[in-house]
Amino acid sequence: MRIALAAAQDAASRGETPVGAVVVDPRTDEIVAIGANGPIGAHDPTAHAEIVALRQAAAKLGNYRLTDLTLVVTLEPCAMCAGAISHARIGRVVFGAEDPKGGAVVHGPRFFEQPTCHWRPQVTGGVLAEESAELLRDFFRARRKKKG
């Protein structure tokens, strides 16, 4: 999670919402990919940290199926990212802060609990949640000050 937090800070430094993600092979502890939010800079609404990390991992491994890997992300995934996680067959998702407004794992549609979801990873939430949430709060507080 510390590496994901560093990626989130990198996103914030570029004016992107501070969310970071890491794909890890739990058998070897190898970091397969690191992603940071980048929709603004990439001009790509799908460039969420999770999607960026999943794309990098799939390219590196030469397979779109990332079965048995772990995705660590600083914020509860949204519906789009939850769908991508399911399609990638990620084995486990670990997230930091919950997202009552946009999250889709423990909030909103609870994507992995839906009967139409074909792959359900193990989910662990709340890992370094306060640090993840504080990074987001600080980012948006600073943006409001600039606009105010």
CATH classification at residue 84: 3.40.140.10
Confidence of residue 125 (pLDDT cuts 50, 70, 90): very high
78 annotated as a binding-site residue: yes
Q: Evaluate if residue 148 carries a pLDDT over 90.
A: no
117 annotated as a binding-site residue: no
Total domains in the chain come to: 1
Encoding tokens for residue 34? 């690191």
Residue located via tokens 């430094």: 13
Q: Evaluate if residue 33 carries a pLDDT over 80.
A: yes
User: Is beta strand 92-97 parallel, antiparallel or unpaired with respect to 70-75?
Assistant: parallel
pLDDT of residue 42: 97
Domain hosting 89: range is 1-146
48 annotated as a binding-site residue: yes
Section 32-56 average pLDDT: 98
CA distance 79 to 84: 9
Active-site annotation, residues: 50
Task: Please give the share of the chain, as a percent, with pLDDT higher than 70.
Answer: 99
Q: What is the pTM of this model?
A: 0.95
Q: Evaluate if residue 147 carries a pLDDT over 80.
A: no
CA distance 98 to 17: 15
